[in-house]
Copies of this chain bind each other. A is one copy, B any other.
Amino acid sequence: MDALPEKKNADAVPQRPTRRNFLGKSALLGLTGAGLTLGLAGCKDDGAAKGAAASASAKAAGAPQAAGHEVAPGQLDEYYHFTSGGHSGEARILGLPSGRTLRRIPVFNIDPMVGWGLTNESKAIIGTKPDGSLKYTTGDTHHIHGSYKDGTYDGRWLFVNDKIHARLARIRMDTMECDKIVEIPNIQGFHGIFPDKCDPVDAKVNYTTRVFCGAEFHIPLPNDGRDLNDPSKWGCLFSCVDAATMEVRWQCRVDGNMDLIATSYDGKLAASNQYNTENAFDLAGMMASERDACVFFNVGRIEQMIKDGKFTTIGSSKVPVVDGRKAANADPKTALTCYVPVSKNPHGVNASPDGKYFVCSGKLSPTATVIDLSLVHKWFAGELKDERASVVAEPEIGLGPLHTGFDGKGNAYTSLFLDSQIVKWNVDKAIAQFKGDKAAKVVLDRLDVHYQPGHTYCSMGETKEADGKYFNSGNKFSKDRFLPVGPLHPETEQLIVISGEKMVMIADHTAYPEPHDGIIVRRDIVKTRQIYNMDDFPNAVKTPADSRVERKGNKVSIFLMSQAPSYSMPVIKVKKGDEVTLTLTNHDKVEDLTHGCAIPTYNVNFIVNPQETKSVTFKADRAGAFWIYCTHFCHALHLEMRSRLLVEA
């Protein structure tokens, strides 16, 4: 490939980069001054009218392309699309190709519909302060990935992380509910995750038992007020979480920072792209180096070292920590880590479904970097001259490359943030070109997306069953693509058919900010439960005889049942000042016959699905009559489904 774009060193104002000091001349088309040229004039106050004119021509161009991909009334989607919801704190399930939102899964946010963050059960999962209030009510869900077996999704778990408060959450896929959240110690800016696909030592454990976690921000270690003014002492840790127990197994300190994560199909390697190998603390510094890195972790060696007791801990954390910095890993034959130089400020690393390559994007270089995993293994064996020799291709593909998906037919699809395009390119051709074949046609197609694409991925593309059917482009700006709804526009998930030679865009789906990352899963893989098992809830109110009010001092327990269209007790009496715990079991067995339970003034609402039990606790600090009522439509007499809570003065 050609030389990387020319750049000057970081001599500009620290917090305000000039155009020239982070991108070469050829990369400037998409930028103006300090802001971005966003491609098109947006809808102003008269946006609807203007847009209508614009859309007439779009209709002519767009409508025929979508033909054959509509999901008619009564028809089911072909794929599940699981996405992280960014700083909405939730995860989402969409159907594809329709783009319909099938469910929101509250994780780090509060959801009064289901009662997430309000019931005792969900509060225990999210975590509380000593006073019983929630520790956090914000979250920034970044990456969502499914658990694997034999190189493809097993439909058991989804994992999703919170960048703000360094938490990893697990969602069980039978009920599509979050069942565990762990806060990872001594990291900040928890960006990327990826489950492993195999044990590094025992090849029979060919399924997910670990989740690897990257962290972006350097912080004091421990972060207790020390070293505040000496960032050179700050550090970044790579973390391994046990998928079954959701406990942090170990951490590995690195040079530079980490962003996204990829894992190898053989289970032996995990990797993270690094956009700040400079260990810098301001913008100019983070862009200073010509190349950054993709850091590989030798999982087997790290775990052996920990087994051998060769680790430290940080602060009050009991998690074993090993040193993966370069200075401590000079000999490849014993190294825990391998830093492969890649193009400047990469944002993304993805594993090809054939198991051979990891591809890093350049972001501030118009290139993608292809790393051959067999050569990384060779480096760890001491048989490769240097880390960079594991790079087998670095094609020039366009401006602002971020994330790459794969179709299982040897082609890669990379989002170009600055070009607002998706570029389709062939991995083998790129390797041939890198070897010197000047005739190799690497780039096969380009398609405009609208606008500024971020995460992008193919149907089943992160598994060995990549099927090359659909590609999703999660775009950060929608501008004129939808009716205006005030200063905050929706973002777009554009759906592209990739089964042919040319990419074909078939839909502009909207996304509530921020669609960060996602996976597209074949529908036969997902096996859900439609009814709970009452026995799964130790506090279930199982029989009419169990339906009662119990008092111990000023602690009152209400045991209630619901069955359409009524609760089991029409009148419930407590006294002002009581601490009341209400436990509700839904005795309906009809699928989807969910009931709600709201209590005015006392800030209570939650739902109980068929055969489910939940509880809430509140202080009855105001005397009066309060109607407990059903908030989830259940029956023709839903409105009449209510009981009286009488709080006696």
Neighbour of A530 across the interface among B166, B189, B484, CB < 8 A: B484
- In the complex this chain forms, how many copies of it are found? 2
Q: Is the CB of B526 within 8 A of A102?
A: no
Contact flags (1/0) for A364-379 with B, using CB distance below 8 Å?
Answer: 1000000000000000
Contact flags (1/0) for A143-158 with B, using CB distance below 8 Å?
Answer: 0000000000000000
Given contacts A225-B576, A418-B636, contact A563 B112 (CB under 8 A): no
Cβ contacts under 8 Å, A140 to chain B: 598, 605, 631
Task: Decide if A246 is an interface residue (CB 8 Å cutoff).
Answer: no
Task: Decide if A332 is an interface residue (CB 8 Å cutoff).
Answer: no
Task: Decide if A328 is an interface residue (CB 8 Å cutoff).
Answer: no
Cβ contacts under 8 Å, A85 to chain B: 113
The interface-forming segment of A13-21, A334-342, A430-438 is A13-21
Cβ contacts under 8 Å, A594 to chain B: 487-488, 513
Contact flags (1/0) for A166-181 with B, using CB distance below 8 Å?
Answer: 1000000011110000
Q: Is the CB of B43 within 8 A of A102?
A: no
Q: Is the CB of B523 within 8 A of A605?
A: no
8 Å CB contacts to B: which residues of A535-563? 563
Task: Decide if A73 is an interface residue (CB 8 Å cutoff).
Answer: yes
Sorting the interface of chain A by its residue count into under 10, 10 to 19, 20 to 34 or 35 or more gives 35 or more
Q: Is the CB of B75 within 8 A of A636?
A: no
Q: How far is the CB of A467 from chain B (nearest CB, A)?
A: 16
Bound-state Cα–Cα, A266 to B340, Å: 76
Bound-state Cα–Cα, A535 to B603, Å: 36
Q: Is the CB of B137 within 8 A of A42?
A: no
Task: Decide if A347 is an interface residue (CB 8 Å cutoff).
Answer: yes
CB-CB nearest 9 A-B residue pairs: A58-B74, A225-B623, A62-B72, A225-B649, A176-B486, A223-B624, A487-B609, A112-B138, A55-B75
Cβ contacts under 8 Å, A417 to chain B: 636
Q: Is the CB of A48 within 8 A of B136?
A: no
Given contacts A42-B592, A101-B101, A570-B282, contact A58 B75 (CB under 8 A): yes
Bound-state Cα–Cα, A636 to B275, Å: 12
Neighbour of A88 across the interface among B112, B514, B591, B624, CB < 8 A: B112
Q: Is the CB of B600 within 8 A of A512?
A: no
Task: Decide if A182 is an interface residue (CB 8 Å cutoff).
Answer: no
Contact flags (1/0) for A91-123 with B, using CB distance below 8 Å?
Answer: 001010001111110001111111001100000
Task: Decide if A501 is an interface residue (CB 8 Å cutoff).
Answer: no
Task: Decide if A509 is an interface residue (CB 8 Å cutoff).
Answer: yes
Task: Decide if A197 is an interface residue (CB 8 Å cutoff).
Answer: no
